[in-house]
Amino acid sequence: MQLDNNLVRDNVRLIYIDDSQRTNEEYEFTGNEITTSKYTVINFLPKNLFIQFHRVAYIYFLVIAALNQLPPLAVFGRTVSLFPLLFVLTVTAIKDGYEDWRRHRSDRNENNKESLVLQSGKFQLKRWKDIRVGEVVKICVDETIPCDMVLLRTSDPSGVAYIQTMNLDGESNLKTRYARQETSLMSFEGGLTSGVIRCEQPNRNIYEFTANMELNVHKVSLSQSNIILRGCQVKNTEWVVGVVVYAGQETKAMLNSAVSPSKRSRLEQAMNKETIWLSVFLFILCLVVAIGMCLWLMRHQMQIDTLPYYRKSYLIKGKFPGKPYKYYGIPMETFFAFLSSIIVFQIMIPISLYITMELVRLGQSYFMIEDKHMYDSSTNSRFQCRSLNINEDLGQIRYVFSDKTGTLTENKMEFRRATVFGKHYRNSSVVDGTTKDTETAELTKPTPLSSKGRKLKSDIAVDAQLMGLLHKGLDGSEKISAHEFFLTLAACNTVIPIPSQTTSEGSMGTEIHEDLEAIDYQGESPDEEALVAAACAYGYILFERTSGHIAVDVNGEKLRLDVLGLHEFDSVRKRMSVVIRFPNNDVKVLVKGADTSMLSILREDRENDDLSLITQRHLNEYSSEGLRTLVLAARDLEGEELEEWQSMYEDASTSLADRSLKLRQTASLVESNLCLLGATGIEDKLQEGVPETIESLRQAGIKVWVLTGDKQETAISIALSCKLLTGDMHQIIINGTSESECKMLLSEAKAKYGVKCGGFRTQSFKLKKGAESDFVDVLAESKLSNLPTEDDGNPELTMGGPLALIIDGNSLVYILERDLESELFDLATSCRVVLCCRVAPLQKAGIVDLIKSRTDDMTLAIGDGANDVSMIQMADVGVGICGQEGRQAVMASDFAMGQFRFLKRLLLVHGHWNYQRMGYLVLYNFYRNAVFVFMLFWYILCAAFSTTSALTDWSSVFYSVIYTSIPTIVVGIMDKDLSHKTLLQYPKLYEAGHRQEGYNSYLFWIMMADTIWQSLVLFCVPRLAFKESTIDIWSMGSLWTVAVVILVNIHLAMDIQRWVLYTHISIWGSVIMTYACVVVLDSIPVFPNYGTIYELAKQPTYWFSILLIIVIALLPRFTIKALHRIFRPSDIQIAREAEILRKRRFFYGSRLFWRSTS
């Protein structure tokens, strides 16, 4: 009733089954068409221009170009002034168009898929984009679901459907969904169906769905288990029929794929700040010119009419007798001087930098893609750069948020170890004298049964000893234990065996004897699958499961076990149990669970105690190896106890209120006094190189957080095996079920480990501001260890040892939605490791946002499943793993790669390079343009503040576009300070990016000071060398053009760390090209500068001046640089020296070696 009220009160959506017209009558629901593209052919030009002009830079361009069209301001010629703007617009438009075309293509593919839709009583194919809310859709096995639907009927008479939600939450196991009994018998074809579904408005919560269905007179409530969502796939169910409730953009999948915000790199943001400073400079320069003009005019007010070089008015007998010519009074003239100087100085704001950066990023991406160390040969996938805006951010990452399954691990479980009856068996040993190569395992399986060609997820290496024990046939507790051990493995689970080659509905008995039959196991968790597969390998083949019984093939002997009851796994008990009746009417309860929860409920007698001690020892061994452990136990159930349990179970499973609690109580009845059978160790195989990668990242000062949908135990064990968690860490576990509990846990933990509220944060901020600080972790540790120990009861805990925070999704719900966020932040940032378990996709994003919004630190999210999409989009940098779980993560990511371990190379090597390159590129571009502008400015000061440029219009425009752009691009793409070997060897070098060594405001101001010096030299040397000479304005301009180009190129050359052929070509080539352009421009008679260079080049003074300019301009820079390098080198410089020295030593060393041997 409560539900009803809710639905009535709130805005509900009414859906008439199989009546889409009526459904859409009142309110037109969104159709099923999806669009992710931005443009169409028609609106491309206006919309693209509109979007482009959202960039302030382009508006600036436009305004400058427009200003230049005004007659009193026409500093440059018309075509010349439009050149830069058109150039930028064209390049960007081509890029945008290409990107959108790709989006169009993928949209079209998606929209044109077809599904069976009930149309006039028959299921007929219909395109996805035409499907509407209210229609009834039939989906066959392995098809993808086109929209969110309420299940009405499935091929299974009981109304069960299995779906795979991989694309949605990244979990690869199968989920069961049910059609309501009331509808599961309805026939759709031909017959009219009537029914109304009231459901909530579209929302993005994929784990909840509230609705009810009115069928004839009945009211049936619908929940999460009755709905199947877009993007999921139907598995193991021949067909399902459902009614569309949400379509298109309103589906939960689409609502969850948040619009990816366009990302700006951190460097670019910092750069924008400096750009404002440049604007201030520009403003000051223009103001000086304007004021100068004003004062000059006031002083010469009486003369300007007759001044031969000003002459403000027409002649008396001229065209407009006596009228002023382009003279509008002193205030206006001052204003115009201001505006026209903006035009002249426009490149102070380095607009071309935006294009340059884009081109450089393109080149950097090329090298990242081509890097063969990031090529995954197993999946044949290369590195992909999907976003071209944030290459340099890779060099400044401080937080890595990683998904677990499929990212850290391969998502392949393998049964590795077993201890049965106190005896340890390892599976990777020698079997029957044959070496157990994984490749040949299939062929050398010893038993006939396991050679059945079952399709198992992995090959199980069988332990010969254990196998022998099972086949020995002798009685004894050890043998019985082993038997029960495997029986538990086979029976105590929820795995569904699926014969892949079902031939008929006939008797299973004949089928299992067919050697070709393959059984595919589908379970809730890969662990269970691995266990069942292991049991299978040892001859205990689970081949059938219904709700009433399971059938196990024990070494060829079929065993039908009735399932009396099943207590599913829950996070409180941390175990599951099944009560089965053997054919001989024995009843046993088989239990498996986490060691902590199991060891306390074992039977307490001597024998069992000894056994449990040995087993515990084994368990510790296993978990230290990073294996996921489970303890298995069993006992007989008889007489009264059985009856009592049965009645309780009956009662509990049918009760409506507190069912789970009652079931738990029931379970505790049988889950006691158990007889220990043994334990298993399962390996969730880590991807190659994961521990090393994590260790390197940690050394590099990057914090790795793991956000996973898995349970806490699994997450911890994986964290242990990938060396994320280590034994010396103190684990803080936040596991609350209510707000207050979370709050309490948080504050408790903080008190215990001495994390101060906010204090840490401000400190870390300060550190970051300092830009040369140590890594925060170090500080946190030292701070913790310095705490007085007498404060708490347990001094051991506060002493030393980094902290690890483990928090689960439930607590996060309370924490992230309330004002506990900051508390969590304080705690989490002082921990070295944070593990979040059982988190929903949007929670992942929430955690990323927690860090992003509260610090300046760069965040990177890496994941492979669709459940990571929101996190990937939220983080500053999103990395997708092209794994088994579809391509959603890749599609949403900025970078995509095949393996987690490539992350190390991506960050430490490419990230470092890209950051250093881009940082230098930005600084250099600022310098390059500013030096030019200042040079023009000094000249204007001695041209009576009239905005004369000695340089020709074309040279002014070409300067940043043609004369000097190519070397910066080449250097931005190809220069590298250190080899990848050094960078990987010393991960600490990555911290240069954290300290913002490549680009910071200190460097900016140093650079500006240098710029002013260099521009003064540029101006003064020719000024003095040609003092009182016959030099004309164009010769001077020509000299300056060439001098400034050579100067900035030599400046660049001085900073190049690695000279390759291309660098030489670009640097010297652009000097030559400048000369060529100057020669060409001076060879066109209609230009006033005609012939200048030919005359100028004859004068030795010209050449001497250029040489002098370059030497004097760069002398301070070179001196200071040399001083720094020699006496106060940075880490990078030392590493560079070491690298080169090592190489040399190696070279000389080998020579010496040769000499001594010969």
Return the active site residues. Answer: 403
For the record, the structure tokens of 893 come out as: 């990511």
| Parallel/antiparallel/unpaired status of strands 136-140 and 114-119 | antiparallel
Q: Segment 124-163, which members bind other proteins (CB under 8 A)?
A: none
User: HEC states along 129-184?
Assistant: HHCCCCCEEEEECCCECCCEEEEEEECCCCCEEEEECHHHHCCCCEEEEECCHHHH
Nearer to other proteins, 237 or 346 (CB): 346
Q: How far is the CB of 382 from other proteins (least distance, A)?
A: 5
Q: How far is the CB of 383 from other proteins (least distance, A)?
A: 8
Among 276, 430, 516, 1024, binds other proteins (CB under 8 A): 1024
Q: Segment 1129-1148, which members bind other proteins (CB under 8 A)?
A: 1129, 1131, 1134-1142
For the record, the structure tokens of 899 come out as: 């393996």
Q: Segment 347-366, which members bind other proteins (CB under 8 A)?
A: 362, 365-366
Q: Which residues contact 1023 (CB under 8 A, 6 or more apart)?
A: 942
Please report whether residue 946 would count as binding other proteins according to CB under 8 A.
Answer: yes
DSSP-assigned states of every residue in 606-670: HHHHHHHHHHHHHHHHHHHTT-EEEEEEEEE--HHHHHHHHHHHHHHHH-SSSHHHHHHHHHHHH
Q: How far is the CB of 786 from other proteins (least distance, A)?
A: 12
Stretch that binds other proteins, among 227-235, 380-388, 630-638, 830-838 (CB under 8 A): 380-388
For the record, the structure tokens of 704 come out as: 């790795």
Please report whether residue 1021 would count as binding other proteins according to CB under 8 A.
Answer: yes
Please report whether residue 773 would count as binding other proteins according to CB under 8 A.
Answer: no
Closest CA to 413 of 718, 706, 693: 718
Closest CA to 666 of 774, 573, 803, 599: 573
Stretch that binds other proteins, among 14-22, 437-445, 1044-1052, 1114-1122 (CB under 8 A): 1114-1122
Among 778, 799, 1076, 1080, binds other proteins (CB under 8 A): 778
Stretch that binds other proteins, among 134-142, 437-445, 526-534, 1017-1025 (CB under 8 A): 1017-1025
Among 950, 957, 1052, 1106, binds other proteins (CB under 8 A): 950
Q: How far is the CB of 1081 from other proteins (least distance, A)?
A: 13
Q: Segment 387-426, which members bind other proteins (CB under 8 A)?
A: 388
Please report whether residue 1094 would count as binding other proteins according to CB under 8 A.
Answer: yes
Nearer to other proteins, 1002 or 1059 (CB): 1059
Nearer to other proteins, 617 or 1121 (CB): 1121
Q: Segment 694-713, which members bind other proteins (CB under 8 A)?
A: 699
How many CB atoms neighbour CB 370 within 10 A?
11
Q: How far is the CB of 757 from other proteins (least distance, A)?
A: 27
Please report whether residue 728 would count as binding other proteins according to CB under 8 A.
Answer: no
Instruction: Kindly write out the interface string for residues 1049-1078 of this chain, putting x where it contacts other proteins by CB under 8 A and - elsewhere.
Output: -------xxxxxxx----------------
Please report whether residue 1104 would count as binding other proteins according to CB under 8 A.
Answer: yes
Among 11, 120, 600, 1030, binds other proteins (CB under 8 A): 1030
Please report whether residue 1119 would count as binding other proteins according to CB under 8 A.
Answer: yes
Nearer to other proteins, 999 or 1026 (CB): 1026
Q: Which residues contact 110 (CB under 8 A, 6 or more apart)?
A: 34, 128
Please report whether residue 770 would count as binding other proteins according to CB under 8 A.
Answer: no
For the record, the structure tokens of 58 come out as: 């382009």
Q: Segment 960-989, which members bind other proteins (CB under 8 A)?
A: 974, 976, 986, 988-989
**CA 707: distance to chain centroid?**
12
Phi, psi of 1086 (to 5 degrees): -75, -10
Instruction: Kindly write out the interface string for residues 605-624 of this chain, putting x where it contacts other proteins by CB under 8 A and - elsewhere.
Output: --------------------
Distance in angstroms (rounded) separating the CA atoms of residues 1032 and 1092: 9
Please report whether residue 800 would count as binding other proteins according to CB under 8 A.
Answer: no
Nearer to other proteins, 666 or 996 (CB): 996
Nearer to other proteins, 662 or 1125 (CB): 1125
Q: Segment 780-799, which members bind other proteins (CB under 8 A)?
A: 782
Phi, psi of 414 (to 5 degrees): -135, 135
**CB distance 360 to 919 below 8 Å:** no
For the record, the structure tokens of 463 come out as: 């332990």
Q: How far is the CB of 341 from other proteins (least distance, A)?
A: 11
Distance in angstroms (rounded) separating the CA atoms of residues 529 and 171: 14
Q: How far is the CB of 694 from other proteins (least distance, A)?
A: 18
Instruction: Kindly write out the interface string for residues 905-944 of this chain, putting x where it contacts other proteins by CB under 8 A and - elsewhere.
Output: -------------------------------------xxx
Stretch that binds other proteins, among 6-14, 161-169, 218-226, 1122-1130 (CB under 8 A): 1122-1130
Q: Give per-residue burial for 131-144: e unless 16+ CB within 10 Å, then b.
A: bbbbbbbbbeeebb
Closest CA to 178 of 216, 223, 210, 235: 223
| Parallel/antiparallel/unpaired status of strands 174-178 and 160-164 | antiparallel
For the record, the structure tokens of 547 come out as: 């709700």
Q: How far is the CB of 1152 from other proteins (least distance, A)?
A: 19
**CB distance 829 to 765 below 8 Å:** no
Q: How far is the CB of 1061 from other proteins (least distance, A)?
A: 7
Distance in angstroms (rounded) separating the CA atoms of residues 1044 and 1114: 12
DSSP-assigned states of every residue in 977-1026: SS-HHHHHH-GGGGHHHHTT-SS-HHHHHHHHHHHHHHHHHHHHHHHHHT
Instruction: Kindly write out the interface string for residues 856-885 of this chain, putting x where it contacts other proteins by CB under 8 A and - elsewhere.
Output: ------------------------------
Distances (CA, A) of 593 to 306, 371, 713, 824, 912: 103, 45, 11, 31, 46
Instruction: Kindly write out the interface string for residues 568-607 of this chain, putting x where it contacts other proteins by CB under 8 A and - elsewhere.
Output: ----------------------------------------
Please report whether residue 70 would count as binding other proteins according to CB under 8 A.
Answer: no
Tokens 């300092």: give the residue: 770
Q: Segment 289-348, which members bind other proteins (CB under 8 A)?
A: 300, 303, 306-311, 313-319, 325-326
Nearer to other proteins, 273 or 1124 (CB): 1124
Nearer to other proteins, 157 or 261 (CB): 261
**CB distance 706 to 694 below 8 Å:** no
Q: How far is the CB of 537 from other proteins (least distance, A)?
A: 34
Q: Segment 481-520, which members bind other proteins (CB under 8 A)?
A: none
Please report whether residue 1125 would count as binding other proteins according to CB under 8 A.
Answer: yes
Please report whether residue 380 would count as binding other proteins according to CB under 8 A.
Answer: yes
Q: Which residues contact 458 (CB under 8 A, 6 or more apart)?
A: 412, 413, 414, 530, 533
Task: Find residue 397's DSSP bridge partners.
Answer: 858
Nearer to other proteins, 705 or 986 (CB): 986
Please report whether residue 757 would count as binding other proteins according to CB under 8 A.
Answer: no
Nearer to other proteins, 224 or 1130 (CB): 1130
Amino acid code (one letter) for 84: P
Please report whether residue 1112 would count as binding other proteins according to CB under 8 A.
Answer: yes
**CB distance 1054 to 1117 below 8 Å:** yes
**CB distance 669 to 645 below 8 Å:** yes
Looking at residue 545, the DSSP 8-state letter turns out to be E
- Residues touching other proteins: how many (CB under 8 A)? 115
Please report whether residue 97 would count as binding other proteins according to CB under 8 A.
Answer: no
Nearer to other proteins, 733 or 1056 (CB): 1056
